[in-house]
């Protein structure tokens, strides 16, 4: 007996309305013909057209995409390594400092992370641009990857690896053939998380980038500081659509995999 009352139904309805209405309104108004963003002037896709002609936005999108791909890929490798070090390497000198350095960026205010990296880049005389943003994004997102992967590694049955060694694998083979396929879903979600964090970041990128590389969030921020603009509405709609499609596809894929696993398990019981 689940006690689902009118109270629960009301709080869920209001709660999800609160979470989604602002974004739905944004999407609706992106098709507004009027330049006055709060007055409905009929349906139009004109702002999408203007957006796609705006070189500055396209450039920024391209920069952001490159930064996100590079930083999330490097962060996934480093974060997975860090997770293995934390979960599997046992004790070593400086372990406490290492775990501190992995968890601290998760709670560090972005303004401080950005400021400190900028001071470093200036200190060693590194020219700021895409490269420095990639370095900065890699550093904080590898910590997120490491948390995601180590939680999977912690529940991983080491007997599987021992079985592989027992059957003649080397350490490296055991990792590649047994451990990696099992932790792969966590590594992939780590990559997705790192990718999203990089796409989303305004503050750290603002500190660490130079004039040559303006990322999309920086571009959006500088234009919405001045107020609501129909072009940004259109851009937001595109981004929201991409994320929605991505998340729904991912959850469908997960569900299908789970269903298939369940079906296999049932079939196995029957035979």
Partner 1 sequence: MRRLLIAVPYLWLLALFLIPFLIVFKISLSDITLSIPPYSPNLDLSAGWSGLVDFVRALDFENFVFLTQDDLYWKAYLSSVWIAFVSTLITLAVGYPIAYGMARADRSWQPTLLMLVILPFWTSFLIRVYSWMGILSTEGLLNQLLMNLWIIDEPLQILNTTTAVYIGIVYTYLPFMILPIYAALEKMDDALLEAAEDLGCSRLEAFWLVTWPLSRGGVIAGCFLVFIPAIGEFVIPSLLGGSDTLMIGKVLWEEFFSNRDWPVASAVAIVLLLILIVPIVLFQRNEQKAREAEG
Distance CA 117, CA 94 (A): 23
Residue number with CB closer to partner 1 (110 or 271): 110
Q: Which of residues 157-186 bind partner 1 (CB under 8 A)?
A: 171
Q: Kindly state the smallest distance separating residue 241's Cβ from partner 1, in Å.
A: 10
Residue 165 neighbours by CB under 8 Å, 6+ apart: 171, 174
Question: Is 17 a residue that touches partner 1 (CB under 8 A)?
Answer: no
Question: Is 135 a residue that touches partner 1 (CB under 8 A)?
Answer: yes
Q: Kindly state the smallest distance separating residue 98's Cβ from partner 1, in Å.
A: 6
Residue given tokens 């390497």 in the structure block: 89
> Which residue stretch of 50-58, 82-90, 177-185, 261-269 sits at the interface with partner 1 (rule: CB under 8 A)?
82-90
Question: Is 89 a residue that touches partner 1 (CB under 8 A)?
Answer: yes
Q: Which of residues 215-234 bind partner 1 (CB under 8 A)?
A: 217, 220-221, 224-225, 227-228, 232-233
Query: How far lies 25's CA from each of 33, 192, 235, 236, 244, in Å?
Result: 15, 27, 14, 11, 16
The residue within the footprint of partner 1, chosen from 115, 126, 169, 182 (CB under 8 A), is: 115
Tell me the angle at which helices 46-53 and 230-270 cross, rounded to the nearest 10 degrees. 100
Q: Kindly state the smallest distance separating residue 271's Cβ from partner 1, in Å.
A: 28
What is the number of alpha carbons within 13 Å of residue 80 lying toward its C-beta?
17
Distance CA 232, CA 47 (A): 9
């Amino acid at each position: 007996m689940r006690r689902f009352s009118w109270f629960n139904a009301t709080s869920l309805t209001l709660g999800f309305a609160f979470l989604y209405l602002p974004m739905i309104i944004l999407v609706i108004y992106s098709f507004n013909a009027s330049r006055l963003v709060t007055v409905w002037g009929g349906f139009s896709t004109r702002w999408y057209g203007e957006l796609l002609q705006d070189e500055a936005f396209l450039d920024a999108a391209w920069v952001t995409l490159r930064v996100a791909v590079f930083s999330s890929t490097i962060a996934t490798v480093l974060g997975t390594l860090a997770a293995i070090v934390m979960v599997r390497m046992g004790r070593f000198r400086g372990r406490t400092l290492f775990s501190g350095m992995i968890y601290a960026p998760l709670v560090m205010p972005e303004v401080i992370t950005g400021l400190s990296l900028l001071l470093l880049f200036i200190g060693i005389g590194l020219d700021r641009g895409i490269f420095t943003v990639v370095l900065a994004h890699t550093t904080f997102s590898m910590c997120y990857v490491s948390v995601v992967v180590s939680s999977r590694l912690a529940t991983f049955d080491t007997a599987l690896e021992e079985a592989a060694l027992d059957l003649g694998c080397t350490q490296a083979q055991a990792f590649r053939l047994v451990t990696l396929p099992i932790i792969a879903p966590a590594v992939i979600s780590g990559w997705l998380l790192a990718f999203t964090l990089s796409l989303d970041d305004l503050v750290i990128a603002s500190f660490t980038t130079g004039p040559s590389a303006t990322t999309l969030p920086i571009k959006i921020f500088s234009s919405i500081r001045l107020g609501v603009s129909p072009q940004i509405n259109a851009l937001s709609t595109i981004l929201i659509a991409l994320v929605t499609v991505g998340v729904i596809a991912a959850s469908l894929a997960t569900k299908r995999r789970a269903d298939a696993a369940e079906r296999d398990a049932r079939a196995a019981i029957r035979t």
